[in-house]
Amino acid sequence: MEPSTKRHEEKWLVVFCDPPPFEDTASKREKLYRRVLFPLLKRHFRHVFVMRKAQNFKGYIVVQPEYLSMRVIEEPGLEFANRVVQMEQTGQAKVLSVVVDEREMQIPFWPMTCVSMVKRLIGKSSIAFTPYQLYRHLSATD
């Protein structure tokens, strides 16, 4: 019996939202950063993060880019996923399912923003600088 050559496609849910989740646990620096930057960004596209179903427990893995850092959070159960669905239904979020592009690519040095971190995580190179530009790029490539 030969080993399977079929590659497993890793999918992430890319969530574009406003307001960002976990606002209550954001640092003072993160809140200041958002207060300065968010008015410049398109409404409902002021933040982006990714999530996927966990393999070892019932729940989700959430990768939350923040100002100069990134949090990886295990969200047990479906409560967080239901919250994201509710945000999408009320127009506070857009959710895209994206297959990770595992091809090796060169990503130039870029400041750590939610967009640049998500692009690196899902393996997409684009000239998107804002969450809305990334949303348009990913929507066009579906």
The whole-number pLDDT of residue 40 equals 83
Count of the separate structural domains present in the chain: 1
Structural domain span for residue 77: 11-140
Instruction: Judge whether 101 lies within some domain.
Output: yes
**Residue 2 falls inside a structural domain:** no
Question: What SS3 class is residue 57?
Answer: coil
- Coil, strand, or helix at residue 88? helix
Inside any domain, residue 33: yes
Please give the pLDDT value at position 111.
72
74 lies in some domain = yes
Residue 84 lies in a domain: yes
pLDDT the model gives residue 24: 67
- Kindly state whether residue 44 falls inside one of the protein's structural domains: yes
Within a domain: residue 5? no
CA 80, CA 60: separation in Å to the nearest integer?
Answer: 8
Render pLDDT for 56-109 as a digit per residue (tens, 0 to 9). 888 999 998 877 778 898 999 899 999 999 999 998 899 999 988 876 555 566
Asked if residue 1 is part of any domain, the answer here is no
Contacts of 20-25 with C-beta under 8 Å, sequence gap 24+, read: 20/46, 20/47, 20/49, 20/64, 21/49, 21/62, 21/64, 21/80, 21/83, 21/84, 22/64, 22/71, 22/73
For residue 16, what is the enclosing H or E element? strand 11-17
